Amino acid sequence: MALISLEDLEGLDEDEQPDVDVADGSEPMGEEPSDGLLAHWREVASTHQVAVPTEMVGPIHEMTRNSQQREPVPFVLISRQEKMGEALWEERVYPAGKWACVRQAEELYEQSISKSFMKLMRFICKENSAGRHLGLTVPVVSTVLVRADGETLDKDVVTGFYLPAAFQDAPPHPHDTDVDVAHREAVTVVARPFFGTTTEETVTRHAGLLREMLGAAAAGQLRSDVFMVAVYENPGVPRRRNEIWFLRR
């Protein structure tokens, strides 16, 4: 979903410029403006072992200015399993629609999703044929392939951003050829929330917990070669909201 959430952006003033050395060693000292938002993004990104380049300054500020433009990805709730009033999992149908997607294959899952979101963010923030900020939808969803052993994650991760309703019928074209605007068919998922970071270790563990919780009979109706990770909040938030999605066969 992302290096940083809208809630995190809203907590910072766009003109905030603390006395912070934001150089990360990738560029010469003294050639980069001091920028509080950029420094904050770099601090968050470092937890995923990713560097945020200086050219992200414009998109970061653009997203900050437009942080109220967001809408949920639409879905229909089919069923909900609860225990003591707390959701264990939900079954939902997400309709067909247009998604902007980036495929990335880094050493770690968290590196792939971070780099992909920066590309998606530039697309959202004017690097598109509409020449305007498109608005945000939540969650951002990453598709993870599982290798034949049933445990190891494939290096290719596809991170997707559902286009806002205003652009579903006529999607703008991305300037970056790594961003692909594609039609996705409707999908039925079993979704379970979890809180915290979304690293390769945590998403693998929570996927395993959900499969164990569902049991062999229910799990047999779900695909074992792929799952999705839906991200709603900034990785730096201690109780960050995320979900594991299993796909119905």
Q: 187-234: per-residue pLDDT in tens?
A: 999 999 999 888 999 999 999 999 999 998 787 899 999 999 999 875
| Average pLDDT value for residue range 56-62 | 80
Domain positions in the chain are 6-65, 70-247
pLDDT at 184: 97
Lowest mean pLDDT among 56-70, 109-123, 167-181: 56-70
Of 193, 182, 188, the residue nearest 232 (C-alpha): 193
Question: Tell me, what amino acid is at 155?
Answer: K
Whether 170 and 98 have beta carbons less than 8 Å apart is answered as no
For the chain, give the mean pLDDT. Answer: 83
CATH code for residues 70-247:
3.20.80.10
Nearest-angstrom CA–CA distance, 145 and 17? 41
- Bridge partners of residue 98, in order along the sequence: 183
- Percent of the chain exceeding pLDDT 70 equals 83
Token pair 């164990």 in the structure block, residue: 212
Give pLDDT, residue 45: 79
* pLDDT for the residue numbered 90: 97
Residue 217 CB coordination number (10 Å): 7
pLDDT in tens, 86-144: 889 999 999 999 999 999 999 999 999 989 989 999 999 989 999 999 988 999 999 99
For residues 72 and 24, which has the higher predicted lDDT (pLDDT)? 72
* Whether the predicted pLDDT of 5 surpasses 80: no
Which sign does the torsion angle of CA 205, 92, 174, 127 carry?
Answer: negative
Question: Do residues 6 and 136 lie in contact, with contact meaning Cβ atoms separated by under 8 Å?
Answer: yes
Helix axes 109-124, 57-65, angle to 10 degrees: 70
The token duo for 51 is 């560097």
DSSP labels for 87-147? EEEEEEEEPPEEEEEEEEE-SSHHHHHHHHHHHHHHHHBT-BTT-SB--EEE-EEEEEEE-
Find the helix packing angle between 109-124 and 200-219, rounded to 10°. Answer: 100
Answer yes or no: is pLDDT of 21 > 90. Answer: no
Bridge partners (DSSP) listed for residue 162: 99
pLDDT tops 80 at residue 235: no
**Long-range CB pairs of 114-120, under 8 A, 24+ apart, other chains included:** 114/3, 114/45, 114/48, 114/50, 115/50, 116/142, 116/157, 116/158, 116/159, 117/1, 117/2, 117/3, 117/159, 118/3, 118/52, 118/56, 118/59, 119/176, 119/178, 119/179, 120/159, 120/161, 120/179
